[in-house]
């Protein structure tokens, strides 16, 4: 039976009285891959930080499984060039056992770089290094913030495949953030489309046809259109359009 | 020659100066490495300047200057961290305001204390040749404590330096580690003041670490090399001061600067 790893109920967060996310319900189960998409400024990073416990919500609550162990892969790593550190030493910060570090590097396919300075890794290698560090803790929940950022298309596919394998091997639930739905289509069970509130969610093929999604991202794959019951203003707030035909998507 | 204690024998003066200088350089190396990695040079400079406030307070209240400097630096460090989190002003602007205001306040306060004669030059640029045996003991006790604390915090501090949020998710108590790091900085400023004075402390932190970077492949190597380079600078500076009759603190910093220039001839590791 799959267990719920983390559940968010009615989450809201403000910065300087500006609502960044509001009324978010989200639950992630063991073995499930959920992808969070949304435009810049949609509150994706804020939501991830709330999930990680780096931020406390102003509204609603976050419930975590008692055995929750999070493996976190941050969006990017800026390391000062004055810090001499190898990939191996970087992983040793999470796991002192060298053999386990080598195993993790083999799993992500960059074991030959164990003695390379961290700053010398390419974009794709760095993402793999961060993934290796995340899995070293044997997590049951992986949080991946833009895991394929700066990776070429072939590498992106490989990374998504790897994440899919990890889900069953660890096993773990996965929450990842992405800009591009088309690439994660095959790699994800559920897509949550965020623009301060959850605009729509569902299986990737459903979401890509959802008018709320099409409005936010535009779509080449849209095969039909139907009425959308709300529009977004400049700040992402919901603006009800004149025709109140409610065949369009509803919140949550 | 800079004024030395009346009746002190020259060998003793030199020996105490050397011991004090080495005791400080041993810890400014690894601490300086973290200052460089975390881009906190200006932060360190601000705290160093504010340590003069600690001296003024000590004179005013007739308490131990070492304790007063440690306490003042620590309180200011915590205030700074709090102000930086507010994000109202850019960090360097905030540091610039605090750095020079605290320097000015202490200079004015000292001028207003008519009964107390303060040797300002020795506070600003250090006066290693007036170090006593008791000072040496205090320097070594504080230096040893700071080294042990830094060793204990080494890995968590490194993890926070690389990615603070990742470290926090992995269970490192970020706030506690950062506060302890501030304590180490305050302790080191209190003892480094005697050696190079408040205006030059940052140099002793930053220059040996930056010099060591070119020879190091690991963080630990960089820390150890920085200690050794700092110690060499103390020895060269003191010798220079002895033979050429130059002020000790600036001579030590100049030696460190020359070592850094020499290191530029080596390719980056």
CATH number at residue B170: 1.10.3470.10
d(CA B247, CA A186): 71
Beta-bridge partner residues of A188:
none
d(CA A229, CA A224): 16
A86 touches chain B (CB under 8 A): yes
Mean pLDDT across chain A, nearest whole number?
82
Q: How far is CA B234 from CA A231, B24, B186, in A?
A: 69, 9, 21
Per-residue pLDDT, A194 = 87
Between residues B146 and B11, the one the model is more confident about: B146
Using DSSP bridges, classify how beta strands A141-145 and A231-232 pair: parallel, antiparallel or unpaired.
unpaired
Beta-bridge partner residues of A144:
A73, A176
Q: Between chains, do A82 and B213 touch, taking CB under 8 Å as contact?
A: yes
Q: B208 to chain A nearest CA, in Å? A: 13
Q: B20 to chain A nearest CA, in Å? A: 28
Q: Is A245 left (phi over 0), alpha (psi -120 to 50) or beta?
A: beta
For B8-57, the pLDDT digits (tens) are 688 888 999 999 999 999 999 999 999 999 999 999 999 999 999 999 99
Q: What is the distance in angstroms between the CA of the first residue and the CA of the last residue of chain A?
A: 25
B5 within some domain:
no
- Cβ-based contacts of A90 with chain B (< 8 Å): 162
- Cβ-based contacts of B170 with chain A (< 8 Å): 72, 94, 137
User: In this predicted structure, which of A16-20, A100-104, B233-237 has the lowest mean pLDDT?
Assistant: A16-20
Q: A133 to chain B nearest CA, in Å? A: 10
Average pLDDT of the segment spanning B190-210? 92
Q: Using CA coordinates, name the residue in chain A closest to B269.
A: A84
B53 within some domain:
yes
Q: How far is CA A42 from CA A15, A34, A39, B3, in A?
A: 13, 17, 5, 67
Per-residue pLDDT, A237 = 53
Q: Between chains, do A83 and B221 touch, taking CB under 8 Å as contact?
A: no
For A18-65, the pLDDT digits (tens) are 888 888 899 999 989 999 988 888 888 899 999 999 999 999 999 999
d(CA A93, CA B160): 10
Q: How far is CA A12 from CA A17, A174, A198, in A?
A: 11, 22, 11
**B163 in helix, strand or coil?**
coil
B176-197 exposure pattern, b = at least 16 Cβ within 10 A, e = fewer: ebbebbbbbbbbbbbbbbbbbb
Q: At what angle do helices B10-37 and B133-162 cross, to 10 degrees?
A: 10
A141 touches chain B (CB under 8 A): no
d(CA A91, CA A135): 10
Q: CATH classification of A1-69+139-252 is 3.40.718.10, yes or no? A: no
- Cβ-based contacts of B269 with chain A (< 8 Å): 84
B269 closest CB neighbour out of A52, A54, A84:
A84
- Cβ-based contacts of A137 with chain B (< 8 Å): 170
d(CA B22, CA B144): 12
Q: B113 to chain A nearest CA, in Å? A: 45
CB B252 within 8 A of CB B238: yes
Q: Between chains, do A84 and B221 touch, taking CB under 8 Å as contact?
A: yes
Q: Using CA coordinates, name the residue in chain A closest to B168.
A: A54
d(CA B228, CA B59): 35
User: In this predicted structure, which of A100-104, A127-131, A190-194, A217-221 has the lowest mean pLDDT?
Assistant: A217-221
- Cβ-based contacts of A85 with chain B (< 8 Å): 158, 162, 218-219
B36 closest CB neighbour out of A74, A82, A85:
A82
For tokens 């290191």, the residue is B263
For A64-85, the pLDDT digits (tens) are 998 899 999 998 888 899 999 9
**A38 in helix, strand or coil?**
coil
Instruction: List the Cα angle B39/A86/A123 in 5-degree steps.
Output: 80
Q: How far is CA A175 from CA A33, A64, A140, B143, in A?
A: 6, 14, 11, 46
Q: At what angle do helices B174-196 and B248-263 cross, to 10 degrees?
A: 120
- Cβ-based contacts of B219 with chain A (< 8 Å): 83-85, 89
Percent of the residues in chain B that have a pLDDT greater than 90, as a whole number: 64
For tokens 């890509």, the residue is A208
For A137-173, the pLDDT digits (tens) are 899 999 999 888 878 888 888 888 899 899 899 889 9
Question: Which of B33, B37, B167, B169 is best to mutate for the A interface (most A CBs within 10 A)?
Answer: B169
Q: Between chains, do B169 and A52 touch, taking CB under 8 Å as contact?
A: yes
For tokens 């990737």, the residue is A204
Q: How many domains is chain B built from?
A: 1
Q: Using CA coordinates, name the residue in chain A closest to B162.
A: A79
A82 touches chain B (CB under 8 A): yes
For tokens 């990842």, the residue is A176
A16 touches chain B (CB under 8 A): no
CB B110 within 8 A of CB B118: yes
Determine the distance from the C-alpha atom of residue B264 to the mean position of all C-alpha atoms in its chain, rounded to a whole number: 24
Question: Which of A82, A96, A120 is best to mutate for the B interface (most B CBs within 10 A)?
Answer: A82
**Residue boundaries of the structural domains of chain A:** 1-69+139-252, 78-138
B2 within some domain:
no
**A46 in helix, strand or coil?**
helix
- Bond before A67 cis per omega within 30 degrees: no
Question: Which residues, other chains included, contact B20 with Cβ-Cβ below 8 Å and sequence gap of 6+?
Answer: B128, B131, B135, B136, B139, B194, B195
- Cβ-based contacts of B217 with chain A (< 8 Å): 84, 86, 117
| DSSP state, residue A186 | G
What residue numbers bound the domain in which B44 lies? 10-263
Q: Between chains, do A90 and B162 touch, taking CB under 8 Å as contact?
A: yes
């Amino acid at each position: 039976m799959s267990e719920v790893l983390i559940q968010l109920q009615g989450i809201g967060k403000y910065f300087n009285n500006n609502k960044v996310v509001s009324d978010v319900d989200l639950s992630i189960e063991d073995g499930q891959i959920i992808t969070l998409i949304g435009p810049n400024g949609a509150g994706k990073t804020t939501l991830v930080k709330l999930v990680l416990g780096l931020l406390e919500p102003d509204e609603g609550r976050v419930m975590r499984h008692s055995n929750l162990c999070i493996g976190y892969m941050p969006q990017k790593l800026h390391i000062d060039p004055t810090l001499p550190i190898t990939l191996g030493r970087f992983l040793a910060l999470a796991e002192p056992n060298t053999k386990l570090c080598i195993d993790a590097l083999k799993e992500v396919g960059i074991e030959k770089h164990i003695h390379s300075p961290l700053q010398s890794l390419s974009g794709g290698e760095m993402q793999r290094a961060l993934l290796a560090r995340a899995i070293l803790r044997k997590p049951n929940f992986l949080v991946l913030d833009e895991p394929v950022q700066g990776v070429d298309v072939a590498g992106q596919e490989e990374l998504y495949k790897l994440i899919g394998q990890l889900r069953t091997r660890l096993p773990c639930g996965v929450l990842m953030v992405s800009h591009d739905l088309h690439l994660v289509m095959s790699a994800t069970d559920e897509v949550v489309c965020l623009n301060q509130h959850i605009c729509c969610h569902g299986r990737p093929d459903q979401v890509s046809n959802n008018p709320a999604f099409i409005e936010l991202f535009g779509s080449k794959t849209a095969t039909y259109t139907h009425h959308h019951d709300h529009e977004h203003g400049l700040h992402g707030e919901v603006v009800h359009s004149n025709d109140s035909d409610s065949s369009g998507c509803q919140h949550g | 020659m800079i004024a030395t204690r009346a009746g002190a024998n020259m060998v003793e003066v030199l020996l105490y100066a050397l011991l004090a200088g080495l005791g400080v350089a041993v810890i400014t190396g690894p601490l300086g490495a973290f200052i460089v990695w975390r881009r906190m040079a200006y932060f360190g400079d601000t705290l160093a300047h504010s340590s003069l406030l600690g001296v003024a307070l000590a004179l005013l209240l007739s308490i131990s200057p070492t304790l007063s400097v440690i306490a003042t630096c620590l309180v200011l460090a915590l205030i700074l961290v709090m102000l930086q989190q507010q994000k109202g002003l850019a960090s360097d602007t905030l540091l610039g305001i605090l750095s020079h205001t605290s320097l000015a306040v202490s200079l004015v306060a000292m001028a207003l204390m008519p009964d107390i004669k303060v040797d300002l030059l020795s506070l600003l640029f250090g006066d290693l040749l007036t170090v006593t045996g008791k000072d040496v003991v205090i320097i070594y006790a504080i230096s040893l404590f700071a080294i042990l604390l830094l060793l204990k915090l080494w890995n968590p501090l490194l993890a926070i330096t690389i990615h603070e949020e990742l470290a926090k998710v992995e269970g490192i108590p970020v706030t506690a580690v950062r506060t302890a790091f501030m304590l180490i900085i305050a302790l080191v400023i209190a003892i480094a003041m005697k050696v190079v004075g408040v205006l030059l402390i940052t140099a002793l932190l930053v220059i040996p670490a930056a010099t060591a970077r070119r020879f190091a492949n690991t963080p630990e190597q960089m820390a150890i090399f920085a200690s050794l380079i700092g110690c060499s600078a103390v020895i060269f500076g003191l010798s220079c001061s002895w033979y050429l009759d130059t002020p000790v603190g600036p001579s030590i910093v100049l030696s460190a600067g020359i070592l850094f220039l020499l290191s530029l001839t080596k390719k980056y590791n």
